[in-house]
Amino acid sequence: MDKLKIAKILAELREQNNKSREQVSVDLHISYSAISAYETGERIPRDELKIKIAKYYKKKVEDIFFS
């Protein structure tokens, strides 16, 4: 999947859940800059973090990263 499409999905999920980037970074125990990079399409999370993010938002990994 395209990095920018993943970025858009991640940003939309965060906004739909009324979370700030800071709150998501604290909840997932990752840096604010990592969240920012994922939401702007600069980077894609590693597989183990994809699973953690999907669980956090109560979504399937495939729905976020492979649809």
The string of pLDDT tens digits covering residues 26-52 is 999 999 999 999 999 999 999 999 999
Residue-level pLDDT at 67: 79
Helix boundaries (H) for the chain: 3-16, 21-28, 32-40, 47-56, 61-65
At 45, phi and psi to the nearest 5? -65, 155
DSSP 57: T
Polymer length of the chain:
67
Tell me the domain boundaries of the chain: 3-59
pTM assigned to the model: 0.93
Helix, strand, or coil here: 2?
A: coil
**CATH number of this structure's domain 3-59:** 1.10.260.40
Contact 52, 28 (CB under 8 A): yes
